[in-house]
Amino acid sequence: MKTVIVYSGGLDSTVLLYHLLDEGHEVAALSIDYGQKHKIELQRAKAISQPLDLHHEVADLNGMTKLFGESSLINSQNSVPHGHYEEENMKSTIVPNRNMILLSLATAWASSIKADSVSYAAHSGDHAIYPDCREEFATALDQAIRLADWQEIYLNRPFVGLSKAEVVKRGAELYVPFQLTWSCYEGQDLHCGQCGTCIERREAFHLAGIEDPTSYKNTAPSLQTMIASKWRL
């Protein structure tokens, strides 16, 4: 089976990449430059892909950045908020319709190389704060993708029933190089440790009982404090 993976260089998509290879899939990896501040993730995607001898492409959507509005992930005037994903201010990190755009590009490539599916690392901990992470959205998009070409292509979501901690456990089983993956939305030299995706990353390793190899600039508040106050996924 041949699949195109939407590949950010992040923790979830890297575990999915290794999972697909472990299952015997022929994998082509597509990363997207949509003007995100954390472009370091594209460098990490390349570094992880190269030794695996994959066909890895980076699609340049920088010309579309102005269409995405005021998202703090792309607008230089807006700071990336700190705190847990459940907080209201995290809505500023929404990039409008991002998943549909990324998955549509992956579908186009999948069609051109006669792949059977498009794979992405949606899991049960994906957040209602992002409308295009909802199960209803993915199910509807799967139906549309199946109709997009004479050769049927489906949306592959093998992690949809897993928590992020369970994704980390699967990655540990596959010897995923977690230290090379990138999550932080601030995109500096180190993970900030305080944005929503850093907190989610820290928490997932903690709950999985797996040592976190990530270097963080700041780990306050502690995970114990967050869990005790029910500030968690």
Rounded Cα gap, residues 29 and 36, in angstroms:
18
% of the chain surpassing 90 pLDDT: 54
pLDDT tens-digit profile of 27-50? 999 998 877 766 888 999 999 999
Query: CA of 113: how far to CAs of 41, 59, 186, 200, in Å?
Result: 25, 16, 34, 35
Per-residue pLDDT band for 10 (boundaries 50, 70, 90) equals very high
Three-state secondary-structure class, residue 217:
coil
Distance CA 226, CA 81 (A): 17
pLDDT of 81 higher than 80: no
Rounded distance, CA 28 to CA 74, Å? 26
Question: Per-residue pLDDT tens for 86-111?
Answer: 555 555 555 556 788 899 999 999 99
Give the C-alpha separation, 21 to 18, whole Å: 5
- Please give the domain boundaries of the chain with CATH numbers for all domains: 2-182 (3.40.50.620)
Instruction: Indicate yes or no: pTM above 0.95.
Output: no
Rounded to whole angstroms, the Cα distance separating 58 from 39 reads 11
pLDDT at 130 (0 to 100): 66
**Confidence tier at 233 by pLDDT (50, 70, 90):** very low
pLDDT bin (cut points 50, 70, 90) of residue 120 is very high
- Residue 170 pLDDT class (50, 70, 90 cuts): very high
Q: Please report the sign of the dihedral spanned by the C-alpha atoms of residue 95, residue 104, residue 48, residue 40.
A: negative
Residue matched to tokens 């990530």: 214
DSSP designation for 195: B
Cα(130)–Cα(124) distance, rounded to whole angstroms?
Answer: 13
Residue 225 predicted with pLDDT over 70: no
Cα 80 from Cα 203, distance rounded (Å): 19
- Predicted pLDDT of residue 210: 97
pLDDT at 173: 98
What's the token pair of residue 231? 């500030």
